[in-house]
Amino acid sequence: MEIYCLIDSHDFAEEIAPQLAAIETAITEWLTESRSSATVYKDIEGEQPFIGLRINTNRKLTLKKPIDFLYSLSQEHKFECVVGLIENEQHEDVCYFGSEEGAPDIGEIASYLGLEK
């Protein structure tokens, strides 16, 4: 199952772009240190720019560390995140968390995604 955890923004150019270098550096460093199976997932040149993580998993435990990391990053840089499924390269948003939405509940997220383990 292809899952994304992206920074969610109504105005990427104004809200995220000024912090993009710091966010990208933090994501890259975390991926190296954590040895997570997640990968950087971004398109900052498209009509709907985004940056975050892409995770191929059927296990909720695989999601916990990336989601916890993005939540801590959202607190530092004041943004929201969206978690969803990728099917046929189409995004289906499932739930949100972040500086305003609050802490993510991995059990709830796993349930929304249909992950049992």
**pLDDT value of residue 116:** 74
**pLDDT value of residue 117:** 72
**pLDDT value of residue 89:** 85
Q: Which of 70, 57, 46 is nearest to 2 (CA)?
A: 57
Per-residue pLDDT of the chain (117 residues; tens, 9 = 90+): 999 999 999 899 999 999 999 999 999 999 999 988 899 999 999 888 999 999 999 998 899 999 999 999 999 999 999 999 999 989 999 999 999 999 999 999 999 999 877
Is residue 37 within 8 A of residue 116, CB to CB? The reply is no
pTM of the predicted structure, to 2 decimals: 0.92
Angle of helix 60-77 relative to helix 106-113, nearest 10 degrees, comes to 120
Q: Phi and psi at residue 99, in whole multiples of 5°? A: -65, -30
d(CA 83, CA 97): 8
